[in-house]
Amino acid sequence: MARITAGIGSSHVPLLGVAVDQGKTRDEYFSPIFAGYDWTRDWEKQQKPDVVILVYNDHASFFDMKIVPTFAIGCAERFGICDEGWGPRPVPDVEGHPDLAWHIAQSLILDEFDMTIVNEMDVDHGLTVPLSMMFDTPKTWPTKVIPLAVNVVTYPVPSGNRCWALGEAIRRAVESFPEDLNVQIWGTGGMSHQLQGPRAGLLNREWDNKFLDMLVGDSDAARWIPHIEYLRETGSEGIEMVMWLIMRGALGKKTRCLHRHYHIPCSNTAIGHIVLEPEA
Amino acid sequence: MSELKPTQNIHEYLAEFDDIPGTRVYTAARARKGYWINQFAMSLMKAENRERFKANERAYIDEWNISEEGKQALLARDYNRLLDLGGNVYFLSKLFSTDGFSFAEAVSTMTDMTFPEYQDMMKKGGRSPQGNRSIKGGY
């Protein structure tokens, strides 16, 4: 039986990808950010996940305004790397797991989550930056990946409660897959940041840390945070944090924190990172 | 199953967004208004389109169904105006990259600060949420 063994939350700021690609991860600016991921990189070498369900958002890279899926699951064998205007990141293509992806897609639809199925897709920094943070610069990624793209750009975006419930349904789907697979789920994006308008640059260390606290233990209070609270407290792009709730929902009633990291700033953004495991 | 909550009223949901200082939430109304501004910006993902745009910006923009006001805002790189006209920052960022600007530098032009001032604010912990959460509430 496949099982979800751990969850990771992480920011996916594009500048982190630039730092990796240009070998600057240990310079004065980036060192405190990357040092907070050292623990996780070592831990992943022992965990060796077979598949990562990677929850992220596309930033007008593959999807434009023609089609705006709320929840899209990537079922392809392979995903290419988007050119986001500065040329594609020099990272390996991402290998999918179509058997598990299709199994999850079918199970979710029966479970009343009407997913968009994507059979050809390139992925942007939202997906590749977390891979670089957790696995550094390998020739091929050491895990297969099921991309799960969430609309967090055009409002209304899905509610926190809906995201959490989707995570719960993903857990049920994974546990009904017959093959013995070690599956992780990652929620990415955030933490506080605003990239637009006169209020740009807003960061909120206190709120972000309260949010990290809420992911640990048996509370499900975070699923009820309304969109307006993310917008007021964490900036217009802080809403990406709803994607962390899909990860949290998939870990079951109770979690244990294995590792946690927070740093301000990276470009316009607060960096947050957490490693959780389900606790019976 | 978790407790069921009543569906939120869309009018009340949207009205709250207007109470956030210095912020244009990318609502369906803005997405409709700015559709061609955003699709124009998206076209700059292709190198050949970037070259045609750089060779003659006005001629390239004229190929798109964008209002004269929108065209002027694009030519002037007036990003706050473009947000008002329904532009979204992830689409507009294709224009940043075409111009060779970093995301942070382009974002700083939407504030009342110079780029060095903006960078300095970020290094010191960013803009405080204090007083920046609500126009009506002033908190």
Q: How far is A64 from chain B (nearest CA, A)?
A: 7
Per-residue pLDDT tens for B21-47?
999 999 999 999 999 999 999 999 999
Any A CB within 8 A of B66 CB: no
Per-residue pLDDT tens for A160-184?
999 999 999 999 999 999 999 999 9
Candidates 1.10.1740.10, 1.10.700.10, 3.10.20.310, 1.10.10.60; correct CATH number of B24-99?
A: 1.10.700.10
User: Least CA distance to A84: which residue of chain B?
Assistant: B45
Nearest alpha-carbon partner for A215 in A169, A189, A247:
A247
DSSP per-residue string spanning chain B: -PPP-PPPPHHHHHHGGGGSTT-----HHHHHHTHHHHHHHHHTTSHHHHHHHHH-HHHHHTTS---HHHHHHHHHT-HHHHHHTT--HHHHHHHHHHHT--HHHHHHTTTTS-HHHHHHHHHTT-B-STT-S-TTT--
**Using CB atoms, which residue from B20, B28, B90 is nearest to A232?**
B20
pLDDT value of residue B3: 57
What CATH number labels A3-274? 3.40.830.10
Q: What confidence tier does B6 reach under pLDDT thresholds 50, 70, 90?
A: low
Q: How far is B62 from chain A (nearest CA, A)?
A: 20
pLDDT value of residue A280: 82
Q: What confidence tier does A86 reach under pLDDT thresholds 50, 70, 90?
A: confident
Do A201 and B22 count as a contact with CB atoms less than 8 A apart? no
Strand-pairing partners, residue A56, are: A149
Count Cβ atoms below 10 Å from residue A25 Cβ, excluding itself: 20
- Would the pLDDT of B1 be above 60? no
Instruction: State how far the Cα of B110 lies from the Cα of B114, in Å rounded to an integer.
Output: 10
As a whole number, the mean pLDDT across chain A is 97
**Using CB atoms, which residue from A154, A165, A195 is nearest to B2?**
A165
Strand-pairing partners, residue A80, are: A122
Q: Which of residues 38-57 of B touch A (CB under 8 A)?
A: 38-39, 41-42, 44-45
User: Least CA distance to A220: which residue of chain B?
Assistant: B2
Own/partner long-range contacts of B79-84 (Cβ < 8 Å, ≥24 apart): B79/A196, B79/B106, B79/B109, B79/B110, B80/A197, B80/A198, B80/B110, B82/B34, B82/B37, B83/A196, B83/A197, B83/B24, B83/B30, B83/B110, B84/B24
Per-residue pLDDT tens for B105-116?
999 999 999 999
User: Least CA distance to A29: which residue of chain B?
Assistant: B123
Q: What confidence tier does A81 reach under pLDDT thresholds 50, 70, 90?
A: very high
Taking contacts as CB-CB distances below 8 angstroms, the residues of chain B near A70 are: none
Mean pLDDT of B43-70: 96
Do B111 and A200 count as a contact with CB atoms less than 8 A apart? yes
pLDDT value of residue B8: 85
- Would the pLDDT of A85 be above 90? no
Count Cβ atoms below 10 Å from residue A220 Cβ, excluding itself: 17
- Would the pLDDT of B57 be above 90? yes
Which sequence positions of A are flagged as catalytic? Answer: 125, 193
Q: What confidence tier does B19 reach under pLDDT thresholds 50, 70, 90?
A: very high
**Using CB atoms, which residue from A86, A153, A199 is nearest to B21?**
A199
Lowest mean pLDDT among A24-28, A111-115, B6-10, B119-123: B6-10
Taking contacts as CB-CB distances below 8 angstroms, the residues of chain B near A60 are: 38, 41-42, 88, 90-91, 93-94
Q: What confidence tier does A60 reach under pLDDT thresholds 50, 70, 90?
A: very high
Task: Name residue, tokens 């990172």.
Answer: A273
Tokens matching residue A198: 């006169």
pLDDT value of residue B7: 76
The domain segmentation of chain A, as residue ranges, is 3-274
- Would the pLDDT of A94 be above 80? yes
Mean pLDDT of A127-139: 98
Any A CB within 8 A of B109 CB: no
- Would the pLDDT of B2 be above 60? no
pLDDT value of residue A47: 98
Mean pLDDT of A142-163: 98
Given a contact cutoff of 8 angstroms between Cβ atoms, the answer to whether A135 and A141 are in contact is yes
Tokens matching residue B25: 């939430």
Mean pLDDT of A197-214: 98
Q: How far is A263 from chain B (nearest CA, A)?
A: 10
Q: What confidence tier does A270 reach under pLDDT thresholds 50, 70, 90?
A: very high
Q: What confidence tier does A24 reach under pLDDT thresholds 50, 70, 90?
A: very high
